[in-house]
Structure 1
């Protein structure tokens, strides 16, 4: 027999309902404050530029020192370093958007773009440390994912399973680390300790909101591709135009729903800490608790 509260405030059905309403609230907030998307855009641009710059620098130096072999070694070193640099950049901008979204959700005010940056700057040491830790985990996951290219079928399956388990466990245990760091200004290890405790209070909502955002993003992208299919049949001009629209649409959709995901995380952090709805939910008629 399964025991538990499936009808009350923490019942499974209510968790699903709250998770879906959190998703809708996130969409409303990003639509009202589209500048939140700029945080995500800056994160993507800086990550790409940093990755390219590091690879160019290390690869070029390697070639000067040791020709082709040095170039390959430099690229390998650059890839290794890029994991950490990009991870730190992503953590910084995630912290900025969470801080900005939390301010909007809890006060109703529309914070300036610089507000999130200032809040993230206040905890740079923690962001740097967390970026290094996240980058290390990313390298470990990449190692196991690389086993999928092995000729050994057992290694392929084993690598994929281990990588998936690590990613899922890491997602669950560190879900609230960035909100705790940027909103409470706590240290990294203290945040890592508190995050699983908060996740236990909102596990159902976290899963539903994350899946909800991903599913909506998928259907938006699918819709963009479908409406552009006729253009792809109109010769070279139509093909080029359709391709541009599809790429632009996928990019904008991904940026939008990535911002929504950060807003959702800020909402769930507030709930996990207070057990109450975010004040802004009432404005949109989305009392999620």
Structure 2
């Protein structure tokens, strides 16, 4: 609990950094919109390519192999969406690094820096997406024990790759070297890494409670007009919370990587207990 509490405090510190560059919240929004557009470009044709019998089988809950064209489109769409997501995460890390280095980042400067790192970011995105799809495919076919084991493998992969994007963006490492660097830094600190992810998740959950309460009140009143307005407000609020939490996570990753590799807290985190989250052993 102490680690999670410390991470929540670090989330507050990350918020302080974000206040200096609020425009960075735009990057997670662009990431979501870009990924959604890319998915639509490939997934909609993939669905249209499904024969009628496949749709009927799916509606009946029957398993049936996807046609090759649909499968290819779904895979390409997933890969492309991951590339978009990783690129904008890289841009967010770049913006955070610029601020922590004494600069004054903008959305344009962050995207420009990420563009320079495309040779590392794109291969990493493809690798990460491929690993994720393989694990997911195996989990869908595995029994209870197999799913448990694969869940552990998925968790280990996420923990080991936690700082790969900062390694690529900040130190211009390639995808493999970036992953090795991330895994090496976190090999003995997986507990702290998990605590950071849980801590930010808790912050996000608490932040969306007002939206949940609003929807509950609207449902209880059972007034259609109020319910529609409540859903719109709640959806907008949840979207904003997700964008802010994503931005805070990118700032935290950049700070954590800089602390781990430079041995001192970056600008904006001087008074934060980064050592309590990333403990050298």
Mapping 1:20-169, distance limit 5 Å: 20-58=8-46, 62=49, 68=52, 73=67, 74-107=69-102, 109-147=103-141, 155-169=142-156
Question: What secondary structure is seen at the aligned counterpart in 2 of 1:110?
Answer: coil
Comparing 163-172 and 38-47, the one that deviates more? 163-172
**Match among 232, 248, 251 for residue 263 of structure 1:** 251
- Structure 1 residue 27, shift from structure 2 partner: 2.1
Instruction: Check whether the contact 1:83–1:135 (CA below 8 A) recurs between aligned residues.
Output: yes
Question: Relative to 1, partners in 2 of residues 1:274 and 1:21: Cα closer, same or farther, differing over 3 Å?
Answer: farther
Deviations 1:53-78 (A, max 9, x none): 01234555x47xxx657996233221
With normalisation by structure 1, the TM-score equals 0.82
Question: What secondary structure is seen at the aligned counterpart in 1 of 2:265?
Answer: coil
Q: Distance in 2 between matches of 1:57 and 1:44?
A: 20
Question: Relative to 1, partners in 2 of residues 1:286 and 1:190: Cα closer, same or farther, differing over 3 Å?
Answer: closer
Question: Relative to 1, partners in 2 of residues 1:37 and 1:163: Cα closer, same or farther, differing over 3 Å?
Answer: farther
Q: Distance in 2 between matches of 1:250 and 1:139?
A: 27
Comparing 273-282 and 170-179, the one that deviates more? 273-282
- Structure 1 residue 192, shift from structure 2 partner: 1.7
Instruction: Check whether the contact 2:24–2:106 (CA below 8 A) recurs between aligned residues.
Output: no
- Structure 1 residue 158, shift from structure 2 partner: 2.8
1:227 aligns with 2:221: no
1:195 aligns with 2:188: no
Instruction: Check whether the contact 1:59–1:70 (CA below 8 A) recurs between aligned residues.
Output: no
Instruction: Check whether the contact 1:106–1:280 (CA below 8 A) recurs between aligned residues.
Output: no
Unaligned 5+ segments in structure 2 are 56-65, 276-281
Instruction: Check whether the contact 1:16–1:204 (CA below 8 A) recurs between aligned residues.
Output: no
Residue of structure 2 in register with 1:211 after alignment: 198
Unaligned 5+ segments in structure 1 are 1-11, 148-154
Q: Distance in 2 between matches of 1:160 and 1:192?
A: 25
Residue of structure 2 in register with 1:152 after alignment: none
Q: Distance in 1 between matches of 2:195 and 2:100?
A: 20
Q: Distance in 2 between matches of 1:195 and 1:183?
A: 12
1:177 aligns with 2:177: no
- Structure 1 residue 17, shift from structure 2 partner: 6.2
